Chain A
Amino acid sequence: MRNASDTSTPLRRGSSAVQALRGAGSGRLGPFAAILVVVAVLATWPLLAGNPYMLSAGVIVLNFAVFATAWNLMGGLTGYVSLGHIAFFGLGSYGTGLLVIHSEINAFVAVMAAAVVVGLLSLLVGWAALRVRGASFVIVTIAIVLVMLLVFQSWRSVTGGSTGLVVPRPFPDLLRPEHHRVFFYIFLGLLLLVLVSYLVVDRSRFGQALKAIREDEDKAQSLGIPTAMLKLAAFGISCFLTAIAGGVYALWFGDLDPIFQFDVVLSAQIALMALLGGVRYLFGPLVGAIVVGSALEYFLLNFGETQFHLVATGLLLVAVVLFAPDGVLALAAQLIRRLGPSATSIREESAAEVRAQQDARALAERVEEPGADATTDREDRR
Chain B
Amino acid sequence: MTEELGAVALRTEGLSKSFGGVHAVDNATTEFYAGRINGLIGPNGSGKTTFFNCVTGMIRPDAGHVFYRDRDITRWQPHRIARAGLGRTFQLCRVFPRLTVLDNLLVAVHPPHPLAYLGRPRVASLVERARGILARVGLDHLETAEARDVSYGQQKLLELAAALMAGPDMVMLDEPAGGVNPALIERIAVLVTELNAEGTTFLVVEHNMEFMMNLCDHVVVFDRGAPIAAGSAAEVQQNPLVLEAYLGV
Q: Are B141 and A380 in contact (CB under 8 A)?
A: yes
- Determine which of B88, B94, B118, B184 lies in contact with A216 in the assembled complex, contact meaning CB atoms within 8 Å: B94
- Docked Cα-Cα span, A212 to B106, in Å, equals 11
The 0/1 profile, CB within 8 Å of A marked 1, for residues 92-111 of chain B is 00111111000100111011
Q: Are B99 and A368 in contact (CB under 8 A)?
A: no
Residues of B within 8 A of A381 (CB): 141
A215 beta carbon closer than 8 Å to chain B:
yes
- Determine which of B82, B97, B99, B135 lies in contact with A224 in the assembled complex, contact meaning CB atoms within 8 Å: B82
Residues of B within 8 A of A363 (CB): 141
Chain B 97-152 residues near chain A, CB threshold 8 A: 97-99, 103, 106-108, 110-111, 116-121, 135, 138-142, 144-146, 149-151
Q: Are A204 and B79 in contact (CB under 8 A)?
A: no
Residues of B within 8 A of A374 (CB): 135, 138, 140
- Determine which of A11, A216, A377 lies in contact with B96 in the assembled complex, contact meaning CB atoms within 8 Å: A216
Q: Are B154 and A368 in contact (CB under 8 A)?
A: yes
* Given known A-B contacts A208-B107, A370-B183, A370-B186, A215 and B98 have beta carbons under 8 A apart: yes
Q: Shortest beta-carbon distance, B110 to chain A, in Å?
A: 5
* Given known A-B contacts A8-B141, A364-B151, A219 and B79 have beta carbons under 8 A apart: no
Count chain B residues whose beta carbon lies closer than 8 angstroms to a beta carbon of A: 52
Nearest neighbor of A372 in chain B, beta-carbon distance: B138
Chain A 220-241 residues near chain B, CB threshold 8 A: 220-228, 230
Q: Are B144 and A224 in contact (CB under 8 A)?
A: no
- How would you classify the secondary structure of chain A's contact residues: helix, strand, loop or mixed? helix
* Given known A-B contacts A215-B98, A221-B82, A224-B82, A12 and B149 have beta carbons under 8 A apart: yes
* Given known A-B contacts A203-B120, A368-B154, A219 and B138 have beta carbons under 8 A apart: no
- Determine which of B116, B118, B154 lies in contact with A364 in the assembled complex, contact meaning CB atoms within 8 Å: B154
Most buried by B among A216, A219, A224, A225: A224
Chain A 81-139 residues near chain B, CB threshold 8 A: none
Chain B 66-109 residues near chain A, CB threshold 8 A: 77-79, 82-83, 87-88, 90, 94-99, 103, 106-108
Count chain A residues whose beta carbon lies closer than 8 angstroms to a beta carbon of B: 44
Residues of B within 8 A of A226 (CB): 77, 79
* Given known A-B contacts A208-B106, A224-B82, A10 and B146 have beta carbons under 8 A apart: yes
- Determine which of A9, A200, A364 lies in contact with B144 in the assembled complex, contact meaning CB atoms within 8 Å: A9
Residues of A within 8 A of B162 (CB): 223
Q: Are A221 and B79 in contact (CB under 8 A)?
A: yes
Q: Shortest beta-carbon distance, B135 to chain A, in Å?
A: 7
B243 beta carbon closer than 8 Å to chain A:
no
Q: Are A370 and B187 in contact (CB under 8 A)?
A: yes
Most buried by B among A10, A207, A223, A225: A223
Nearest neighbor of B116 in chain A, beta-carbon distance: A205
Q: Are A224 and B141 in contact (CB under 8 A)?
A: no
Q: Are A368 and B151 in contact (CB under 8 A)?
A: yes
Q: Are A223 and B151 in contact (CB under 8 A)?
A: no
Q: Are B144 and A212 in contact (CB under 8 A)?
A: no
Residues of A within 8 A of B151 (CB): 361, 364-365, 368
- Docked Cα-Cα span, A209 to B99, in Å, equals 10
Residues of B within 8 A of A380 (CB): 141
Q: Shortest beta-carbon distance, A332 to chain B, in Å?
A: 18
A13 beta carbon closer than 8 Å to chain B:
yes
Q: Are B186 and A206 in contact (CB under 8 A)?
A: no
Nearest neighbor of A201 in chain B, beta-carbon distance: B118
Q: Shortest beta-carbon distance, A320 to chain B, in Å?
A: 18
- Docked Cα-Cα span, A204 to B122, in Å, equals 9
Q: Are A221 and B117 in contact (CB under 8 A)?
A: no
Q: Are B111 and A222 in contact (CB under 8 A)?
A: no
Q: Are B149 and A10 in contact (CB under 8 A)?
A: yes
Nearest neighbor of B90 in chain A, beta-carbon distance: A219
A218 beta carbon closer than 8 Å to chain B:
yes
Residues of A within 8 A of B135 (CB): 374
* Given known A-B contacts A219-B95, A223-B108, A368-B183, A206 and B163 have beta carbons under 8 A apart: no
- Docked Cα-Cα span, A363 to B138, in Å, equals 12
Residues of B within 8 A of A377 (CB): 138, 141
Q: Are A204 and B119 in contact (CB under 8 A)?
A: yes
A-B contact pairs, 22 of them (CB 8 A): A8-B141, A9-B145, A10-B146, A204-B117, A205-B111, A206-B118, A208-B99, A211-B96, A211-B107, A221-B58, A223-B79, A223-B166, A224-B79, A225-B79, A225-B107, A226-B79, A228-B77, A367-B138, A368-B183, A370-B187, A374-B140, A377-B141
